[in-house]
């Protein structure tokens, strides 16, 4: 069952349609619509959440908390993947030549913490030359 079909099921149910009518309209089997609605009663009408790692639909906690992963394994896999991506970018601690603030630079060393500091430094250079 796709997310779209699930949304439609709830919509049609809201309109007062029965399992059989819903199933016919969506070309699904009445028994699967019925069992779906029994497992997912009206109180869970909100959007179906999918596992951020494998994309499987997740049945949510009954107390309203939102589960983002179908299993602990998916949770771990997801964060492992993302940590690796973050590690690939090396970080450098640099001191700005203009304001002398220590800042973190990604992927290479930089002389200035910001474009403003770079411009200030440039304009002073030009100012000295003119004055």
Among the listed ranges 9-17, 35-43, 64-72, 122-130, the one in contact with Zn ion (CB under 5 A) is 64-72
Least Å distance, CB 104 to Zn ion, is 13
Least Å distance, CB 23 to Zn ion, is 28
**Contact pick of 5, 78, 96, 105 for Zn ion (by CB under 5 A):** 96
Phi, psi for residue 62 in degrees, rounded to 5? -75, -15
Cβ burial, residue 19 (10 Å; 0-12/13-18/19+): buried
Which residues partner with 95 through β-bridges?
Answer: 102
**Contact pick of 48, 99, 120, 121 for Zn ion (by CB under 5 A):** 99
Q: Does 70 bind Zn ion (CB under 5 A)?
A: yes
Question: What tokens does 65 get?
Answer: 């908390």
C-beta of residue 111 within 8 angstroms of C-beta of residue 94: yes
Cβ burial, residue 17 (10 Å; 0-12/13-18/19+): middle
Q: Does 58 bind Zn ion (CB under 5 A)?
A: no
Q: Does 117 bind Zn ion (CB under 5 A)?
A: yes
Q: Does 53 bind Zn ion (CB under 5 A)?
A: yes
Least Å distance, CB 117 to Zn ion, is 3
Least Å distance, CB 111 to Zn ion, is 9
Other CB atoms closer than 10 Å to residue 9's CB: what's the count?
23
| Residues near Zn ion (CB under 5 A) | 51, 53-54, 56, 70, 74, 96, 98-99, 113, 117
């Amino acid at each position: 069952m796709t997310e779209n079909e699930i949304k439609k099921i709830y919509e049609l149910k809201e309109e007062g349609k029965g399992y059989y009518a819903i199933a016919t309209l969506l070309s699904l089997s009445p028994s699967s619509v019925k069992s779906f609605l029994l497992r997912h009663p009206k109180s869970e009408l909100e959007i179906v959440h999918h596992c951020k790692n494998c994309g499987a639909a997740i049945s949510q906690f009954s107390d309203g908390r939102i589960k983002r992963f179908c299993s602990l394994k998916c949770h771990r896999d997801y964060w492992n993947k993302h940590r690796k991506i973050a590690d690939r970018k090396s970080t450098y601690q640099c001191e700005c030549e203009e304001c002398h603030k220590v800042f973190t630079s990604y992927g290479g060393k930089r002389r200035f913490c910001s474009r403003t500091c770079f411009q200030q430094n440039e304009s002073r250079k030009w100012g000295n030359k003119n004055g």
